[in-house]
Amino acid sequence: MNKLIITCAISGAEVTKQDNSFVPYTIEETAQEAYEAYKAGAAVIHLHVRNDDGSPTQDKQRYQQAINAIKERCPDVIIQPSTGGALGMSRDERLQPTELSIEMATLDCGTLNFGGDDIFVNTENDIKYFAQIMKEKDISPELECFEKGHIDMVLRLYKKGFIHAPLHFSFVLGVNGGMTGEERDFHFLRESIPADATFSVAGIGRYEFPLADLSIRYGGHVRVGLEDNIYLSKGVLAQGNKELVAKVVEMAKLYNREIATPQEARQILNLKEKNK
């Protein structure tokens, strides 16, 4: 079984300091949270950026500042910018991080209700457009799937040549409006992808650690972080992203899964390192 790749989603676009005071906004806070997650065992930093007031932005200059600051502290870490951005952003606004020298980025693979009147729109043409841009720029996509239909979309576009191997899926489960994060859901998605594909699981809220446990046991990888869940345990706020990563490291020991370094993660995911 491959070593375990831990991704840390340190801030997201929606969670605020009112939810958990450790959510980073500034470049300094972002770099420090990334560094502490990296020291705890994260090989990949899933990166959103904020303005200093906490509002989400996809501004490529802000991303570059954050990437530079993170790389100063942990030069070998894999930085995975989000192209999801925030609700209401245009395609090209969301794609700004791909104009930078990055090795990996997220690719959202379907539209999803986000609760209330919020809809996270990713049409088939959006997905084709994002995939083409990433292919042209030699950026490896992490295929974010919130339910089974999104996997079916990926496999259909893969057969048509819009999405290329190697395929690395991220099952994002427990979003309000998406697929829940019960064990049956995990197995349904895991068994729906090609045998030679890799996958990671991001459980939202209370699903974070039960799904992490399943993914560790069944050969997948794990994403945790304040973007997805602000609690270390029921009612106990995490004192930063590092505590969430450290909990996964301890869980992995129960199954004798070693933790992948960034370089080992690159080999598992067939990434081409940049920013050297």
Q: Give residue limits of the domains in the chain.
A: 6-269
Contact 149, 122 (CB under 8 A): no
- The amino acid sitting at 130 is F
- Tell me what the mean pLDDT of segment 224-240 comes to: 98
Enter the DSSP assignment of 3. Answer: P
Each residue's pLDDT tens digit, 65-111:
999 999 999 999 999 999 998 888 999 999 999 999 999 999 999 99
Which residues have a Cβ under 8 Å from the Cβ of 195 and sit 6 or more positions away? none
- pTM for the full predicted model: 0.97
- Give the count of alpha carbons within 13 A of 15, CB side only: 20
- Strands 198-203 and 168-173 come out as parallel
What length is written for the chain?
276
- Does domain 6-269 correspond to CATH entry 3.20.20.70? yes
**How confident is the model over 130-147, as pLDDT tens digits?**
999 999 999 999 999 999
- Cα–Cα distance, 186 to 215 (Å, whole number): 8
170 burial type by CB count under 10 A (0-12 exposed, 13-18 middle, 19+ buried): buried
Strand partners, 236: 233
Residues with Cβ < 8 Å from 270, sequence gap 6 or more? 140, 166
Mean pLDDT of the chain, nearest integer: 96
- Strand order, beta sheet including 6-9: 78-81, 44-47, 6-9, 221-224, 198-203, 168-173, 140-145, 104-108
